[in-house]
Structure 1
Amino acid sequence: MAHTAMSGSGTTAGDDPLQTAVWRLRSRGCWSDAAALLASGGDDPAPALQRAALLIERCLYTEQGWAEAEDALRVAEALAHDDGERGAAACERGYLAYASTLLGVRDRADEARAALGRAAALIGPTAPGRPLLDFRRGLLAQNLADSPQAARAAYRRAHEGATAQEDRLLMSFTWRHLAGLALRDGELAEARHGFAESLRLREELGYLVGTAPALAALAEAEPEPEAARLREEARRLFRLLGGVPTWLAGQLAAQPAA
């Protein structure tokens, strides 16, 4: 099962100290603290949407905080006033519904599909938010519709868009999910390359909370003893972050320790 948490660009906005602080907290799994920095945005839709995205991402990593994320998303939806903002809010709505379905909280698959479809009608093919939307549509195709071919096409579109926009965090996700499909098809060299690129990008960005999953994913494509070394490093980071992401526990427990 492919779990992800991906909302926003993963990069700081120039030298904006607020965005730098938000990223540093987010990258260490402190989503509530990061969201609190954005709580005084007033009627500005941008911080409201970013705050909702952070709290939705927390749901994916901790399987907690669903009501708070829902409340924040409703605020963002109410403040959206043009197609771009409404499309971005719909993209987050679809992601929250997807997360709820994937993690077995409540089946909201129909809501996820409808919301991402609405987002696709509002976010143009060349708009900045399109690669993220394509990626999330790939997640639905892979994990809710069991359609790896459709997922691969969506991930490739997302990867091309993320590369063009130099969105390295999104690229780390597209590399990882394309590699996962390659591994499923027995393409070990392709899988190893994609997983390694994903890990490299996350380490360069300092995306600590996403590094353990990247290490565990690469271990799936590496021979022993390298696989055992990668899993042990993933376990170390997992413990350091207090057992986050929660869904990684089963994967690490199922593999032998180094």
Structure 2
Amino acid sequence: MSGSGSAGSGTGRRSDPLQDAVWRLRSRGCWSDAAALLDPSAATEPAAALQRTAVLIEACLFTGSGWAAAETALRAAEALVRTDDERGAAACERGHLAYASTLFGVRDRADEARSALGRAAALLPPGSAHRPVLDFRRGLLAQHVAHDPAGAQAAFTRAHAGATAHGNDLLRSFTWRHLAAMAEEDGDLAEARRGFAESLRIREELGYLIGVAPALTALAAVESEPEATRLRAEAHRLVRLLGVPAWLADQLKPADPAEQAG
């Protein structure tokens, strides 16, 4: 499903045992287990509660299910936040969940998504590490809900620069992918190949396994044969192994060049 980017908390570069364990589970699609590891700290710590929310929203994006659990986690996080940065981050997660619900046809929450992301923009300080994620999500909303390619391009470009400045490599893999997709739409296949290849490289380096198959199919769509067939076959193998993304599993069944979303 095009546009279901899930870049949120985390860069894949962890420095403590809990975060290492959460990353390993999350990157393999074990979202419930990753959320369970965060349960104790998420009960009292806003950062952990927001991270747990982001993990469960990512599960929704890759499986198309788990919406109620994500909403419950989000409300719990919203009850804990105290600072403007935390409130802004919570609003950003609410906007993302509402956007995803709209995109997947669960319920039209486009107005809620716009309002929440606008509230996040007003709350987050200029230098906040959450700003690039917010820019990326505003780009998704512009591209797939408002159908505003110029606005999406500007937001993705800001998000890419911010992800680079903050060292958020996972987010950078998403911004590369979406900028590449826009280059593909404009007919610039060389730039599209470059962006899709960078997105794939970063995900492989980070060990973000659930994001590798979408990156492979995106690159396959702009590659020539026989490389395109090889990339799609590898993507199909990974999807069968991991069981996600659910939307990509359906697209790859006939082995067609799938328009990737991650």
| Higher relative contact order, chain-length normalized (CA < 8 Å, sep 6+) | 2
Q: How far, CA to CA, are the matches of 1:251 and 1:183 in structure 2? A: 19
Q: Give TM-score scaled by structure 1 length.
A: 0.96
Matched, 1:79 2:80: yes
Matched, 1:194 2:187: no
Amino acid at match of 1:154: A
Q: How far, CA to CA, are the matches of 2:239 and 2:255 in structure 1? A: 14
Q: Could you tell me which residue of structure 2 aligns to residue 149 of structure 1?
A: 150
Higher mean alpha-carbon deviation, 35-44 vs 19-28, is at 35-44
Task: State the SS of the aligned residue for 1:37.
Answer: helix
Distance verdict in 2 for CA 1:80–1:198, change over 3 Å: same
Q: Give TM-score scaled by structure 2 length.
A: 0.95
> In the alignment, is the contact (CA less than 8 A) between 2:12 and 2:208 conserved in 1?
no
Task: State the SS of the aligned residue for 1:98.
Answer: helix
> In the alignment, is the contact (CA less than 8 A) between 1:132 and 1:170 conserved in 2?
yes
Matches within 5 A, 1:168-187: 168-187=169-188
Q: Which runs of 5+ in 2 are unaligned?
A: 258-262
Q: How far, CA to CA, are the matches of 2:134 and 2:44 in structure 1? A: 25
Shift of 1:44: 1.1
Q: How far, CA to CA, are the matches of 1:126 and 1:156 in structure 2? A: 16
Deviations for 1:49-87, whole angstroms, at most 9, x for unmatched residues? 111110011000001111111000000000001101000
Q: Which runs of 5+ in 1 are unaligned?
A: none
Deviations for 1:141-188, whole angstroms, at most 9, x for unmatched residues? 001011111101000000001011111100000000000000011100
Distance verdict in 2 for CA 1:254–1:181, change over 3 Å: farther
Amino acid at match of 1:24: R
Q: How far, CA to CA, are the matches of 2:255 and 2:147 in structure 1? A: 25
Matches within 5 A, 1:128-143: 128-143=129-144
Q: Could you tell me which residue of structure 1 aligns to residue 206 of structure 2?
A: 205
Q: Could you tell me which residue of structure 2 aligns to residue 22 of structure 1?
A: 22
Q: Could you tell me which residue of structure 2 aligns to residue 103 of structure 1?
A: 104
Task: State the SS of the aligned residue for 1:216.
Answer: helix
- Equivalent pairs: percent with the same residue? 67
Q: How far, CA to CA, are the matches of 1:223 and 1:210 in structure 2? A: 22
Matched, 1:53 2:54: yes
Deviations for 1:203-234, whole angstroms, at most 9, x for unmatched residues? 00000000000000000110111111100000
Matched, 1:217 2:206: no
> In the alignment, is the contact (CA less than 8 A) between 2:99 and 2:141 conserved in 1?
yes
Task: State the SS of the aligned residue for 1:113.
Answer: helix
Task: State the SS of the aligned residue for 1:221.
Answer: coil
Task: State the SS of the aligned residue for 1:247.
Answer: helix
> In the alignment, is the contact (CA less than 8 A) between 1:138 and 1:152 conserved in 2?
yes
Shift of 1:254: 4.8
Matched, 1:253 2:253: yes
Q: How far, CA to CA, are the matches of 2:50 and 2:12 in structure 1? A: 16
Amino acid at match of 2:27: S
> In the alignment, is the contact (CA less than 8 A) between 2:156 and 2:178 conserved in 1?
yes
> In the alignment, is the contact (CA less than 8 A) between 2:46 and 2:81 conserved in 1?
yes
> In the alignment, is the contact (CA less than 8 A) between 1:228 and 1:256 conserved in 2?
no
> In the alignment, is the contact (CA less than 8 A) between 2:12 and 2:170 conserved in 1?
yes
Amino acid at match of 1:4: G
Matched, 1:66 2:92: no
Deviations for 1:92-151, whole angstroms, at most 9, x for unmatched residues? 000000000000100000000000000000112221110000000000000101111110
Q: How far, CA to CA, are the matches of 1:77 and 1:13 in structure 2? A: 25
Q: Could you tell me which residue of structure 2 aligns to residue 127 of structure 1?
A: 128
Q: CA RMSD in A?
A: 1.1
